[in-house]
A and B are shown apart, each in its own frame.
Chain A
């Protein structure tokens, strides 16, 4: 579904990614790893059109992201749920409204029963009326995951979703992502947590990609 063809990305201070070609097939589960600053977040941003490659092209369903209009990019983002590293909430709205935001902001009705079920799934029902700043790191990440999946997207991208979480909470979040993958969603998680990757490998077939020296490699059996 998402296709990278000889993609390079230049921040202006030098090339961050070079000659990356990759296909994320529907229903696949990928990890993207690499040291801090290697370009993992940039790679994800290229996937949903927040950034455009300086060379090569990124296509979603064979459509070049660069050729899309602003409204088409908006429509694309409804099909790609993103769990951002810093969650990106509207702090003045309650958690429940933040989670429902992709529906309300695109003119879709919100079914209270569905919203409650989703919040229960991520274990946030008692915190529905709290404001995001009142949540812990783990609760914020779970709320971000709930928001990312509320539109039932085809693809879920997660940028360091367990970065600030303890191991138990990380596993819980991983379990949620694996459940989504089993429902047929394509999942790509950017992380440098090798234990998380090992845990996932023991439960579902995953591909592990690594960004090294600006290029994308398939990680070896050490993982």
Chain B
């Protein structure tokens, strides 16, 4: 059980002498730390985007599923009669669980963000809205539309699906893109660290030769490089993650504007999610460097 984890355990245990065997090289150290930091920063944003998109898709799905709205546009004198007629039709329609007309106050509240609190609702030809709740099986939207067109010409059924489906699909797609971005960033990080590790291995060919001549095993030599690169990636990614979390935290709060962009971020325990980025970066670096080191050592005679 512990055998496959042995390299990781050895790495975490550390070896002061092994750490000193490879001479410090400023360039690859800075390159690895910078790459890990920049990539972690991007991952935090991709993660925030993905989480926000997921949250949005869920909210839209929940809020709009099983609901519909009927809008009645009629002269003020006929408004109540048409409303009563529509409610009566809905009562007879299979698949409708409940239906009610929104009060003037509720309609005023809906329009308030656009027209302000002092909207003279009775002076404007504002349509009456009827909120419809569906049963689990739902109703026949086309049939209802036809009946309304025939019996209450001023009533228009909006079952939300027309604009709900593409929005939810877009949010789902956005979440998927965010996750794909994270995978791509991980792959790019692995590639960059592999290049840096290869450069370090090439620069230390003499060190490798000496270690081999005195009886070092390849696993020991690889570990000296792997540990260094993993720790660099870990520290770089930790800095990048903190910077990314700080930037997300400084974005305007959702309730200030309520739009998607201001809702980009983490909520509650979601803030723990970015903390997985540094260990993940370290794991990617560990695998990339170990692969590069062992491949290089196999090539060397």
Identify the A interface with B (CB < 8 A): 48, 50, 70-71, 74-78, 82, 84, 88-90, 92-93, 97, 101-102, 104-107, 147, 151
Contact = CB atoms under 8 A, between A and B. Distances in A.
B214 A147 contact: yes
A90 B216 contact: no
- 3 closest Cβ pairs, A-B complex: A77-B215, A78-B215, A105-B216
Contacts of A97: 17, 20
Interface residues of B, number: 17
Chain B contact surface mostly: helix
Given A70-B217, A74-B217, A92 B23 contact: yes
A74 B220 CA distance: 11
A74 B216 contact: yes
A104 B16 CA distance: 10
Contacts of A105: 17-18, 21, 211, 214-216, 220
B257 to A, nearest CB: 57
A77 B214 contact: yes
Contacts of B158: none
Given A93-B20, A107-B220, 12 more contacts: A50-B213, A70-B217, A78-B215, A84-B213, A90-B207, A90-B210, A97-B17, A105-B211, A105-B214, A105-B215, A106-B217, A147-B214
Contacts of A147: 214
Interface in B127-159: none
Interface in B189-213: 207, 209-213
A107 B17 CA distance: 10
A71 B218 CA distance: 8
Nearest to A104: B17
Given A97-B17, A104-B17, A105-B21, A88 B213 contact: yes
Interface of B: 17-18, 20-21, 23, 207, 209-218, 220
Given A90-B21, A97-B17, A105-B21, A77 B220 contact: no
Nearest to B214: A102
A161 to B, nearest CB: 15
B209 A88 contact: yes
A99 B23 CA distance: 17
A156 B18 CA distance: 26
A70 B211 CA distance: 13
B87 to A, nearest CB: 84
Contacts of A88: 209-210, 213
Contacts of B217: 70-71, 74, 106
Contacts of B209: 88
Contacts of A84: 213
Nearest to A77: B215
B248 to A, nearest CB: 42
Given A90-B207, A106-B220, A107-B220, A74 B212 contact: yes
Given A90-B207, A105-B220, A74 B215 contact: yes
B210 A89 contact: yes
A48 B212 CA distance: 11
Contacts of A78: 214-215
B200 to A, nearest CB: 14
Contacts of A102: 214-215
A125 to B, nearest CB: 20
Nearest to B221: A105
Contacts of A90: 21, 23, 207, 210
B133 to A, nearest CB: 72
A125 B43 CA distance: 53
Contacts of B215: 74-78, 102, 105-106, 151
A156 B133 CA distance: 91
A101 B213 contact: no
A70 B18 CA distance: 20
A201 to B, nearest CB: 30
Given A88-B209, A106-B220, A107-B220, A101 B214 contact: yes
B24 to A, nearest CB: 8
24 contacts: A70-B217, A70-B218, A71-B217, A74-B212, A77-B212, A77-B213, A77-B215, A78-B214, A82-B213, A84-B213, A88-B210, A90-B21, A90-B207, A92-B23, A101-B210, A102-B214, A104-B17, A105-B17, A105-B21, A105-B211, A105-B215, A105-B220, A106-B217, A147-B214
